Amino acid sequence: MARIKIDIPKKFEFETNLDIRIQDINYGNHVGHDCFISILHEARLKFFKTLGYTETDIEGKALVISDLAVSYKSQCFYGDALKIQVQPAEFNKYGCDIFYRVTHVKTQALILLAKTGIVFFDYTQNKIARVPEPFAGRYSSDI
């Protein structure tokens, strides 16, 4: 069976730590895959906040998630502290990929690699929009 391969950027400019909460634990006594999506979302929100943005206002445009890929590498449990690194890359005219590397703070074990595809959206016109230049200019000169 073919496996997802996520080519992670060499450099991550943003990282944050999050602790695993009891509601993140599933019946297998480890973090459930559905909770990891929320953990990645929280890290992405923190990333945009450091840039002065929200997901609904990036230079006047919103973002919409177009796809998600996750490759799980090891388990984590209640109380574990995770380091989540976030980096936008692979820009095109209308969006980019946001990459994530999640590691265990104490053991440095790789927990997962992930990426979300995003497209920019103009809700006033109800259609996709070009990547805002001030945002793209921070990370890519190729669009």
> What distance separates the 2 farthest-apart alpha carbons in the chain?
48
- Report how far apart, in Å, the C-alpha atoms of 26 and of each of 13, 43, 56, 83, 110 are: 31, 21, 31, 21, 20
pLDDT of 139: 85
pLDDT of 2: 78
pLDDT of 3: 87
Domains of the chain are 14-139 (3.10.129.10)
List the chain residues with pLDDT less than 50. 143
- Report how far apart, in Å, the C-alpha atoms of 104 and of each of 9, 21, 81, 92, 97 are: 19, 14, 6, 32, 23
Residue type, 33: H
Distance from C-alpha of 19 to C-alpha of 2, rounded to nearest angstrom: 32
pLDDT of 83: 98
pLDDT of 143: 47
Tell me the per-residue pLDDT of 6-37, one tens digit each, with 9 for 90 and over.
999 999 999 999 999 999 999 999 999 999 99
pLDDT of 141: 57
